[in-house]
């Protein structure tokens, strides 16, 4: 299950991402917002809500959108266990999965067009984590999260 979230800037792009996921037969759950001015259209609110669903296991990964992808990524990354990649190119998106096992992709609706966004999402969704030495480094990140010094 893929968690989807956006602020008021990302409503249209999120619709395109939904169509992409449907075409890939991937299930999604929308954590809002779906209306500018609805009260949940600030990126920290929806970013936190959807990131929590990923961290709690209700969803296994997420695609979140704001104007730049940055604000919603910062907010989501405050949730323990969330590894965010904010991407506007396919190389970073793919490597963020293969090396960093990113579990949330964020994109900027004011940065990337819908075709590029769908290409980025496709690379991210189909890439696989390589484990090995990369797992060791992710374990270090988890240790930082737990307040340990490296
Ligand atoms: C909203 O204007 C904008 O600041 C937001 O969508 C996002 O880009 C923040 O990082």
Tens digits of residue pLDDT in 86-104:
999 999 999 999 999 999 9
Quick one: average pLDDT of 34-39?
Answer: 93
If you measure from the C-alpha of residue 25 to the centroid of ligand 1, how many angstroms do you get, rounded to a whole number?
30
pTM over cut 0.75? yes
- The closest residue, in CA terms, to atom 5 on ligand 1 is 67
Residues that are catalytic: 66, 99
Q: In the prediction, which pLDDT does 94 show?
A: 98
If you measure from the C-alpha of residue 139 to the centroid of ligand 1, how many angstroms do you get, rounded to a whole number?
31
For 32, 40, 143, the CA distances from 79, given in Å and listed in that order, are: 18, 18, 14
Quick one: residue 32, left, alpha or beta (phi over 0 = left, psi -120 to 50 = alpha)? left
CB-based contact 3:29 (threshold 8 Å): yes
Ligand 1 pocket residues where CB is under 6 Å: 7, 9, 43, 66-68, 70-71
The Cβ of residue 62 has, within 10 Å, a number of other Cβ atoms equal to 28
The Cβ of residue 95 has, within 10 Å, a number of other Cβ atoms equal to 18
pLDDT tens digits, one per residue of 60-89: 999 999 999 999 999 999 999 999 999 999
């Amino acid at each position: 299950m893929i968690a989807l979230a956006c602020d008021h800037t990302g409503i249209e792009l999120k619709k395109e991402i939904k169509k992409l996921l449907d075409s890939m037969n991937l299930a999604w759950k929308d954590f809002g917002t779906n209306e500018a001015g609805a009260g949940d259209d600030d990126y920290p609110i929806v970013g936190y809500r959807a990131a929590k669903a990923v961290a709690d296991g209700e969803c296994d990964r997420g695609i979140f959108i704001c104007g730049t992808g940055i604000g919603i990524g910062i907010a989501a990354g405050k949730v323990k266990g969330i590894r965010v990649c904010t991407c506007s190119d396919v190389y970073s998106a793919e490597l963020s999965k293969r090396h960093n096992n990113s579990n949330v992709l964020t994109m900027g609706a004011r940065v990337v067009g819908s075709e590029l966004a769908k290409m980025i999402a496709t690379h991210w969704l189909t890439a696989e984590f390589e484990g090995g030495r990369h797992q060791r480094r992710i374990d270090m990140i988890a240790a930082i999260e737990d307040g340990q010094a490296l």
